[in-house]
Chains A and B, each alone.
Chain A
Amino acid sequence: MTGPAPKPRVALFVTCLVDLFRPRVGFAAVKLLEEAGCTVEVPEGQSCCGQPAYNSGDRETAKRVARTAIEAFEGYDWVVAPSGSCAAMVAKDYPELFRDDPAWLPRAEALAGRTREIVSFLTDVLGVERVAATLETTATYHDSCSGLRSLGVKAQPRRLLASVDGLTLTEMTDPEVCCGFGGTFCVKFSDISTKMVGDKTGNIAATGADLVLAGDMGCLMNMAGKLSREGRPQKARHVVEVLAGMADGPAIGEGA
């Protein structure tokens, strides 16, 4: 006799920007994971993935923060983040970060192998093909760089969005070109970043869509901030808000 397969135990890696600026994205992620049959826990011991230090060349600080994350997320079947960028940091960069550290490398590699970005986790690991959400609007999807190029997230969000009732998805020109966020880049090289995000919002507006979606809060805050500064009508939301049927509250930059 075989009982029902045990529910996968998933740790939600909330990520800094979701925690502080957009808690609803965390709740949307929990909802999607639970509906797909997971038991979701939010480990207390988590903070940041360490990317700000890693990308600034401060390996030691990055390692210190990464060790904290490794400890926090050990022992779960999966670790899932509503961010391609933070998920890629753990899944792709942790092994590189600890390449010369025999004590931590195996733990880093084990965590890397179990860490996923949320939308691709739903489709590629859990086999989710459609969601039960409704949203009457036209949206365009921006491919955030790390998700796209480090983790191969491209078709998955589009496939799930296609199952949202009432939603029309329209592609912008250059959806794969960076929005100019880049973590500290956007303040260190503010002029270049401004030019890049201006090109991006121009492409978003040209689609005539009402909404821009993406899988990373950094990019979304950048695009939303530019859209509102330019007085454009387009709103920005994290893709999981739409997939979870939670796109009814204020959009990014309009209130949490």
Chain B
Amino acid sequence: MTAHQPTSRQFKKNVTAALANENLQRAMRSTQSGFVGKRAKARDALPEFDSLRDAARDLKNHTLAHLDLYLERYETEVKASGGHVHWAETAGDARRIVLDICRAAGAKTVNKGKTMISEEIGLNAHLEENGVRAVETDLGEYIIQLRGEAPSHIIAPAVHVTVPEVDALFRKTHAHLPADRDLSELPTMLAEARAVLRQKYFEADVGVTGANMLIAETGQSVIVTNEGNGDLSQSLPRVHIVLASIEKIVPTLEDAATVLRVLARSATGQEMSVYTTFSRGPRRAEDPDGPEEYHVVLLDNGRTGMLGTEFQDMLRCIRCGACMNHCPVYQAVGGHAYGWVYPGPMGAVLTPSLIGVEEGGQLPNASTFCGRCESVCPMRIPLPKMMRHWREREFEKHLAPAASRYGLRFWGFFAARPALYRRATGLAARALAALGRGRGRFAALPLAGGWTRSRDFPTPAPKTFMQQWKER
């Protein structure tokens, strides 16, 4: 249920399973074009979209360069509003802090808005182990919680589940459902989940939400949702905990507005999400509602270690999901194959950063460097370049397979000596050409099974271009 045991190491095995999973493939096919088309429309409708991306990138670069300053300012503002700020260096620290707050509040049930940080630290399992029930209130999160799964997408956690599967799931778990109740459409499903969840909002003692941004000058946290579940999770319970990682900070309200303008457009193609909610501190005397206690847990978990390295740009990420929506590898295998919390191109860069290249090193290798992710990223994060940096680190650490390491060096020896290279490649090509004479292509080739299992391989020319050019 949580992402505690990464399976990124066995990425290839996960891939094989994912490609054979018909429900998954059906689900991926049905959503694929939706996100892409909607984003393209939203971009086309806003002439300044690309300059907004520049502005968003620049403001985040500025923030990262002065991260300590803005975090301190944020802490000061939260405290001034009567809230508490907790610094969590590791996932374990964050789990402990949240559990302590729940215990102090005597909480039996915790309601949760959507938060990827909760997945990153494995919060739900930890709470359950300690006798606190965690209830997911986002429809997608609710579905996968019932299924005992982790999210497969950072903004659409249940994107791997088909409608008939949800229908069956609800009929099984919502025992009160009449058989003729129609659940074939998203709105009816949402209504069904809402009906069940509504009651739970009043039972929860603590509400946990994530944060899309934290605003330094005002001490506010910002969440965007389309279901309004986040609002109820944070305003109804007695205690509100904001769970956020340190790079979520932006300096000003104005900056938050800039990010919001690219966020929803990149994510779902909406101009704005349906609900954008700002929260700051506990309920004041004149407020009609709101929590009595307000806590912010600020998680580092390896992020400061990325500052000043070639991976710093990754900290600009606003978790819009556009990179995975446009990634042909993600679309082929879905999010679970990546084996940890963050899938797709952003996950391929972030996972080795956060849990180590030994565990996550396969992910940045599983890319054709097609560059579609970078071309849509609202924060202009050079994702392929950073995946290549991971390959370099792997290579330096001698983690790449020996055969490929020596193969490359061997090849490099020839490629740096053009005359030799020509003779060597020419010889190999001629041998292959002789082998395939008259056929034009091979259906099977020794050592090239990865290619020829699914594709024919063309026969090389009997004479290379360079030879023909000389003899001309």
Contacts and interface: CB of A to CB of B under 8 A. Distances in A.
A150 interface: yes
Contacts of B454: 190, 193-194, 197-198, 226, 229
B463 interface: yes
Contact of B332 (A186, A190, A195): A195
B450 A252 contact: no
A188 B468 contact: no
Interface stretch (A14-22, A113-121, A239-247): A14-22
Nearest to B425: A20
A123 interface: no
A54 B458 CA distance: 25
Interface string B428-472: 010001000000110100001111011111111111111011000
B466 A19 contact: yes
A52 interface: yes
A180 interface: yes
B306 interface: no
B328 A254 contact: no
Contacts of A58: 392, 395, 405, 408-409, 412
A253 interface: yes
Of A26, A27, A192, most B-chain CB atoms within 10 Å: A192
A55 B236 CA distance: 52
Contacts of B332: 192, 195-196
A225 interface: yes
Interface in B278-331: 328-329
A190 B460 contact: no
A149 B395 contact: no
Interface residues of B, number: 69
B461 A23 contact: yes
A250 to B, nearest CB: 6
Given A47-B422, A68-B416, A149-B371, A222 B455 contact: yes
B12 interface: yes
B21 interface: no
A97 B10 CA distance: 31
A105 to B, nearest CB: 17
Interface in A52-77: 52-62, 64-65, 67-68, 72
A255 B421 CA distance: 23
Interface stretch (B121-129, B176-184, B240-248, B361-369): B361-369
Nearest to A149: B371
Contact of A192 (B333, B422, B461): B333
Contacts of B459: 255-256
Contacts, number: 208
A62 to B, nearest CB: 8
Contacts of B457: 221, 225
Contacts of B409: 58, 61
Contact of B368 (A27, A68, A178, A187): A178
A72 B461 contact: no
B466 A56 contact: no
Interface residues of A, number: 74
Contacts of A38: none
Given A21-B460, A57-B400, A14 B328 contact: no
A136 interface: no
Contacts of A250: 440
Of B392, B400, B412, B425, most A-chain CB atoms within 10 Å: B412
Interface in B407-429: 408-409, 411-412, 414-419, 421-422, 425-426, 429
B96 interface: no
Contacts of A182: 367-370
B394 to A, nearest CB: 6
Contact of B391 (A56, A146, A193, A256): A56
A50 interface: yes
Nearest to A71: B418
19 contacts: A14-B466, A23-B461, A23-B463, A46-B418, A47-B416, A57-B396, A57-B400, A58-B405, A65-B416, A145-B368, A145-B371, A180-B368, A187-B451, A190-B454, A196-B329, A196-B332, A224-B456, A229-B443, A254-B440
Interface of A: 14, 16, 18-23, 26-27, 42, 44-48, 50, 52-62, 64-65, 67-68, 72, 96, 145-146, 149-150, 176-178, 180-199, 221-222, 224-226, 228-229, 250, 252-256
